[in-house]
Chain A
């Protein structure tokens, strides 16, 4: 059954889908103004990367676990990123009463 799955779905389908996820996330990071929306877009980017890791693991060497371990570590880092990001947003919000990034330009030169 798995052989038929490998035979019917080409690797390039997964790569194109992962690229689409990455680019949608990139657009979100560049275009949204709200810090939480940007955090969600970053999650999309990380998931696109994860899909690539798992697709390459499955199609180029499923006997080793490099891709799977990489995906697990990416998930751990994504969890850290969400926690620290939201803590930063809450701290900024407490200070400035806004999470609109156009108004948070304290470090602009």
Chain B
């Protein structure tokens, strides 16, 4: 077994274990910390795929912004949730069955379908060419994404504002 396979298996196991912890730990704060661990392991997997830029963006955006935002949200609201009720709904087993069925179908497809794999290198100046593509071929999705970001920022401020 090659080094890459061992790295993949270790990172994959960390990711899955942390993801299971996110959905099963009763304490929200512990869930959020597990989410950070899962996101870090995923950044490692992106780097293993040769998408180093996405790995860095993953750490910056997800770990640096989204996870911190979620932890902040937990801290704001948890003070008032003194009576911690059951964290999992009574009908959790229906969700578990649905998720297990979907996992079986998706895994079967992933393993069985003959994907048209080509053995090719990503270009060595990938980040530069990605930047050019973002303002060239993909300029419309890029601009739409910035518009969505601005709209959601304004919306978030408006929704969460203090009403007097």
Contacts and interface: CB of A to CB of B under 8 A. Distances in A.
Interface in B101-131: 102-103, 106-107, 109-111, 115-123, 129-130
Contacts of A15: 106-107, 109-111
The DSSP consensus for interface residues of chain B is: helix
A91 to B, nearest CB: 5
B88 A33 contact: yes
B138 to A, nearest CB: 5
Interface of B: 1-2, 4-5, 8, 12, 15-16, 19-20, 22-23, 28, 31-32, 35, 38-39, 42, 45-46, 48-51, 53-54, 57-58, 61-62, 65-66, 69-70, 72-74, 76-77, 80-81, 85-89, 91-92, 94-96, 98-100, 102-103, 106-107, 109-111, 115-123, 129-130, 133-134, 138, 141-142, 145-146, 148-149, 152-153, 155-157, 159-160
Given A8-B2, A17-B16, A59 B117 contact: yes
Given A25-B19, A27-B95, A43-B66, A57 B51 contact: yes
A59 B118 CA distance: 6
Given A4-B2, A30-B94, A24 B20 contact: yes
Contacts of A79: 61, 65-66, 149
Interface string A77-89: 1111111101111
Interface of A: 2-9, 11-17, 19-34, 36-37, 39-41, 43-44, 47, 50-51, 54-63, 65, 68-69, 71-73, 75-84, 86-91, 93, 97-100, 102
B118 A32 contact: no
8 contacts: A5-B4, A8-B1, A15-B107, A26-B95, A40-B70, A84-B152, A84-B155, A97-B80
Nearest to B158: A87
Contacts of A31: 23, 88-89, 91-92, 95-96
Given A20-B107, A47-B42, A59-B115, 18 more contacts: A9-B4, A9-B48, A15-B110, A27-B95, A28-B22, A28-B23, A30-B92, A36-B77, A40-B70, A43-B66, A59-B118, A62-B123, A73-B145, A75-B62, A80-B152, A83-B156, A90-B160, A97-B80
